[in-house]
């Protein structure tokens, strides 16, 4: 028998085999979600750090092996409640087409399998590695607009402090050397997410005090954001001396290869003297886990492994059947749609200063037209109709809507507040500025919140009730003497309530 196998206590062999088989089955059940996550880890620069998370988890478990061997794994059927919640989260995410939710559910199912197969004591001993599995789920893109605005404000403040005349408009900064955009790639989100993952690991490994861990994590959030503002300012300042092209090239080299290492070094260097975990201290206290009366009471509720596995199979089967039935739902939609007339407005040829056509991947019908009134105001109206929501067809998904990728248009700033709409200011070469107001419609809901849309989509799919989903984007170019916001407000007033207006198009034949 190999040495490694002889080192494993006999009582651990069957539970380890059972856990491996359960994980294999759960990964197969959520295979589409794991494939989507792996694709993002490999292809998205925001999440390439996640490729290090699996080996880190293995290392964390390995550090605990000597003490884990002192614990006795048992089958603990009450963990089926946690497994049921994990399956529910996964199923809800699949039903709503909410990738982050279904991917979180996929990870939670693996986590819940550990107390089910190994028992509460072993799960307590593996608590941190299990929690660290949360970093397998790619999240963070939702913070990009906020981080863009923060970085832009830090940059303009530092630019003024350095004596360079500059003005700011949203995420665009105008200087004597040219116009600079704090683009998505400059928001610092990839750096921040990697620092949070690193900081969580270091806080557990290097600290014992919860107060020190909290201060360290705060530094891992605040310092990267501030440092990213300094980096962006450095690019703007360097451009005043050597030109924008050279400054941009230097920035990419520094940001990609040097900047991340410098910030980590600064944070670790400043925190080193406060590390309070002894070098050779055990990562868990096996004696305390074995002596815990609470864990003893929990562990007393044991069951036969076959019953727990049958319960697991029933939960997974129910979740799979539910999501499969909902995946086939599709509301009837017309084969042709046309923009209706609006009182006081007439159709004119669509001739924008710069081509603009929102993204609506997977929509059954899409249409874009331009209205004008006698006062010279013009409004572009985009409408997309979906018979269902799901992978590849998410009305409120990331990258969908008014700012399509590679279109030349860039997000500039939030627009003025409007009821039941998300407003955005866009900018492209020229410069040409555009205001866009996005509203979503399904059932009786009209909202500018993609989260509220997803929740209602989830409710309808959970009840196996097919409902169409609609997207309406009202947009206008800023022109001399003509306010885009005023033009859209005038069109809204003439069209009446948006819900019935959007329903009219969805019911057309």
Structure confidence at residue 398 (pLDDT): 78
Q: How confident is the model at residue 159 (pLDDT cuts 50, 70, 90)?
A: very high
Please spell the DSSP secondary structure of 222-286, one letter per residue.
Answer: HHHHHHHHHHHHHHHHHHHHH-HHHHHHHHHHIIIIIIHHHHHHHHHHHHGGG--S-TT--SS-H
Structure confidence at residue 4 (pLDDT): 43
Give the angle 372-476-456 at the CA atoms, nearest 5°. 110
Query: Which pTM was predicted?
Result: 0.82
Return the structure tokens found at 378. Answer: 């013009």
CA distance 400 to 393: 9
Return the structure tokens found at 427. Answer: 């900018």
- 389 DSSP assignment: -
Beta bridge partners of 368: 382
Q: How confident is the model at residue 396 (pLDDT cuts 50, 70, 90)?
A: confident
CA distance 21 to 6: 21
Tens-digit pLDDT profile for residues 409-455: 989 889 999 999 999 999 998 788 999 999 999 999 999 999 899 89
Residue 90 has pLDDT above 90, yes or no: yes
Residue 392 has pLDDT above 90, yes or no: no
CA distance 210 to 204: 9
Query: What are phi and psi for residue 403, nearest 5 degrees?
Result: -120, 75
Q: How confident is the model at residue 238 (pLDDT cuts 50, 70, 90)?
A: confident
In a 3-state reduction of DSSP, which class is residue 8? coil
What average pLDDT does range 278-300 have in this prediction? 89
Nearest to 157 by CA among 167, 148, 144, 169: 167
Tens-digit pLDDT profile for residues 5-41: 446 778 899 899 999 999 999 999 999 999 999 999 9
Q: How confident is the model at residue 257 (pLDDT cuts 50, 70, 90)?
A: low
Residue 254 has pLDDT above 70, yes or no: no
What average pLDDT does range 457-480 have in this prediction? 92
CA distance 222 to 236: 22
Please spell the DSSP secondary structure of 44-94, one letter per residue.
Answer: -TTSGGGGGHHHHHHHHHHHHHHHHTTS-----TTHHHHHHHHHHHHHHHH
SS3 content of the chain, % helix, strand, coil (to 5): 55, 15, 30
Domain ranges of the chain: 3-139+292-327, 141-274, 345-506
Q: How confident is the model at residue 305 (pLDDT cuts 50, 70, 90)?
A: confident
What average pLDDT does range 85-107 have in this prediction? 90
| Radius of gyration for the alpha carbons in the chain, expressed in angstroms and rounded | 27
CA distance 134 to 132: 5
Structure confidence at residue 248 (pLDDT): 61
Structure confidence at residue 483 (pLDDT): 92
Residue 405 or residue 194, greater confidence:
194
CA distance 507 to 509: 7
Q: Classify residue 405 as exposed, middle or buried by CB count within 10 Å of its CB (0-12, 13-18, 19+).
A: exposed
Structure confidence at residue 348 (pLDDT): 95
């Amino acid at each position: 028998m190999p040495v490694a196998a002889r080192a494993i206590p006999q009582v651990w062999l069957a539970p380890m085999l059972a856990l491996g088989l359960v994980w294999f089955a759960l990964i197969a059940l959520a295979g589409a979600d794991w494939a989507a996550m792996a694709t993002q880890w490999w292809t998205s620069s925001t999440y390439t750090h996640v490729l290090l998370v699996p080996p880190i988890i293995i290392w964390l478990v390995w550090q605990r092996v000597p003490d884990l061997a002192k614990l006795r794994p048992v089958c603990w059927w009450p963990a089926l409640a946690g497994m049921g919640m994990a399956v529910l989260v996964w199923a809800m995410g699949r039903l709503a087409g909410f990738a982050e939710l279904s991917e979180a559910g996929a990870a939670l199912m693996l986590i819940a399998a550990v107390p089910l197969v190994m028992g509460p004591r072993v799960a307590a001993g593996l608590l941190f590695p299990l929690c660290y599995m949360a970093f397998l789920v790619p999240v963070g893109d939702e913070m990009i607009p906020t981080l863009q605005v923060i970085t832009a404000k830090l940059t303009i403040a530092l630019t003024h402090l350095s004596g360079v005349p500059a003005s700011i408009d949203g995420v665009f900064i105008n200087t004597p050397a040219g116009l600079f955009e704090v683009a998505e790639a400059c928001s610092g989100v990839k750096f921040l997410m990697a620092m949070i993952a690193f900081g969580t690991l270091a806080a557990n490994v290097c600290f014992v005090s919860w107060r020190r861990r909290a201060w360290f994590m705060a530094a891992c959030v605040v310092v990267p954001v501030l440092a990213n503002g300094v980096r962006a300012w450095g690019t703007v300042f360097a451009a005043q001396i050597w030109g924008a092209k050279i400054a941009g090239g230097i920035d990419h080299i520094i940001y990609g290869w040097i900047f991340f290492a410098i910030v980590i070094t600064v944070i670790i260097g400043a925190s080193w003297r406060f590390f309070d975990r002894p070098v050779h201290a055990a990562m868990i206290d096996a004696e305390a886990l074995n002596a815990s009366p609470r864990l003893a009471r929990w562990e007393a509720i044991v069951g036969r492994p076959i019953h727990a596995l049958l319960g697991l199979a029933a939960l997974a089967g129910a979740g799979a059947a539910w999501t499969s039935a909902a995946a086939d739902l599709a509301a009837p939609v017309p084969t042709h749609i046309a923009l209706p007339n609006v009182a006081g407005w007439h159709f004119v040829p669509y001739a924008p200063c710069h081509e603009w056509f929102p993204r609506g991947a997977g929509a059954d019908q899409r249409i874009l037209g331009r209205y004008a009134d006698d006062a010279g105001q013009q409004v572009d109206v985009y409408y997309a109709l979906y018979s269902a929501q799901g992978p590849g067809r998410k009305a409120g998904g990331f990258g969908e809507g008014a700012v399509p990728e590679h279109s030349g248009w860039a997000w500039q700033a939030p627009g003025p507040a409007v009821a039941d709409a998300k407003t955005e200011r866009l900018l492209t070469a020229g410069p040409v500025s555009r205001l866009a107001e996005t509203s979503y419609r399904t059932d009786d809901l009209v909202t500018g919140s993609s989260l509220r849309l997803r929740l209602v989509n989830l409710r309808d799919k959970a009840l196996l009730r097919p409902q169409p989903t609609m997207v309406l984007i009202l947009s206008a170019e800023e022109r001399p003497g003509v306010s885009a916001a005023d033009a859209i407000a005038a069109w809204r007033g003439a069209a009446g309530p948006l819900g019935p207006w959007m329903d009219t198009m969805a019911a057309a034949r």
